[in-house]
Structure 1
Amino acid sequence: MFGLLGVVLTSALIIYFLKRRCFWRRGNERLEKIEAFIRTNGFHATKLYTYLDIKKMTNSFNNKIGEGGFGSVYRGKLPDGCPVAVKLLTNTKGNGEDFINEVGSISRTSHVNIVTLVGFCYHKKRALVYEFMPNGSLDKYIGNKGSQNKSCPLEWKTLYQIAIGIARGLEYLHRGCNTRIMHFDIKPDNILLDKDFTPKISDFGLAKLCKKEQGIVSLSACGVRGTIGYIAPEVIFGSIGNVSHKSDVYSYGMTVIDMVGVRENVNAAQTSDLYFPNWIYEHLEQGLDFNLEGIIDEEDKEMAMKMILVSLWCI
């Protein structure tokens, strides 16, 4: 009996250590992949921080300002007093692909409408250090969340300029970089606003880099990426069409629709069996009013109509 017990215990120990070894090996492979990527690309404009640095700048993660499927965002401060936002990744995929995507894509950018990556950390914990955006994300000022910011409503002129800024940022990603960057997750949550409400595209975890002359991305290579409600149909259904940078344009169109606020004035029962942009198009054809909030003069009305038309063109 004791001999049988010994065999069982020995087998259990062997299985345990094999699992530990496998887990350790996978962890090392992920780390090696990230280090190889960093050596190959060389990030001169961004700083490499240790985990201790990250803890110090966030005061041991004392001030959480956001949370998502990737992890949490904390407010921090650099030694020179400059405020930053620290994105601590807790839910990373595969061999750190989302982390590599974000560092690799955003480190190639330099544009007023793209958030700046100050630095990153990949030892012990993976973290991304961004410039701090005092006005938070666009989703807080539009849609159902707008009630949280009634003390600071966005004028139509501001919304219009934000829409133009996002478009300029996307144009830069698609045509202005040496490497074309497809974001694949354009939505109000990923548009940050600085102190002057200048929009900056953020969150490049789902981004894909490709050569400028490469217009089409294979679905097998990129997989389904994006957020329901903003994701382009061809990204989900390969039979509809090819996935390209135009998939970001579709997401931009849906974002602008939400900025206008049309969706809030629609009875859900009216559109349950009808594609939402089709409802908008038919509404325009019939010359009906959308009853948008904040319209005070003809200039506001003209800007709102331009945004609606552009959103439909993009979709």
Structure 2
Amino acid sequence: VKGVASILSFVPGDQEEKAEIVRDLALFMLPSLAPGGGTGDRDPARRRIAAENLEAALANLDATNAGPDLARAAGRLAVLLRALDDAGLAGLGQGLLAVFPDAVERLRDSLSPEPFTLADLPTDISARYVAPGGQARLEVIPADDLRDPDAVERFVAALRKVTPDASGAPVTIYEAGRAVLSAFVEAGAIAVTAILILLGLLLRRVSDVAFVFAPLGLAALLTVLCSVVFQVPFNFANIIVLPLLFGLGVASGIHLVLRDRQERAGDDRAAGDAFETSTPRAVLFSALTTIGSFGSIALSGHPGTASMGVLLTIAITLTLICTLVLLPALLAVRGRGRG
């Protein structure tokens, strides 16, 4: 925590001492800020003389000390001043000094300080720091950059040591992150449990269930590895990829295991013949269409959505590779064992 701001932060302290310093400055500055009584910049002759003096100063500019960029700019300004007539000089003066009288007036007013209290604050500031019931709001300023998730966690932890009921954007972000992580764990557990139950009811063999699930587990581990290698970190948008991976990838394993079971019906030595049929090709084309559909999300202009598309493409590709490489090996090993 770097500090705390409240409505009192807008009321300066030691006002009388500071006002005395300003009044001392006013003794020297106010006479020079008094409005003049002459024609001033309304006299075309005086404007022309001022322009000629400025042009002469630009011509005498030391290009070595000023640098090439400033020297070129000075040359262009000198050419412009020579080309302007009286009306052009008047317009130039108006454009450059239109706000100058108001600025001088504000400076003159600031040299006459008056006591500043809470009642002098604008309504929008007062409403931000004081509730209608009179309850004051304290704004805690973090010491670290809150774009770093670890900094957010440290800041919220330090804040809750003093006031457990604190609220605000950092607390909301921190709690939202915890909610998303909890939802991810819950969704992953539900997905894995539902898939295992479905596989058990469909395949009715522990070995077949393990064979279908093994490529999915390996693909999940490789997806996490690729997210680190390719610097596509998990975030609140793309963390849903892992539960989706199990749901999208389990179908391929089911098709291949059932086809293998059909091919070796009555002959356990025929294990692996399923991969000489059209089923692997169908699995490949089906996965490619899925990759194309989800891969298009990677073209999104939103960084979180784009990262989800990238990770989904990686995850489904790895699931396809693991299914077509690991699953045949497992089935072949089982077939040799039975043979």
Q: Normalization by structure 1: what TM-score?
A: 0.24
Which is greater in Rg? 2
More helix by share: 2
The structure with the largest strand share of the pair is 1
What TM-score do the two structures reach when normalised by structure 2? 0.22
Q: Compare relative contact order (CA 8 Å, sep 6+) and give the higher one, 1 or 2.
A: 2
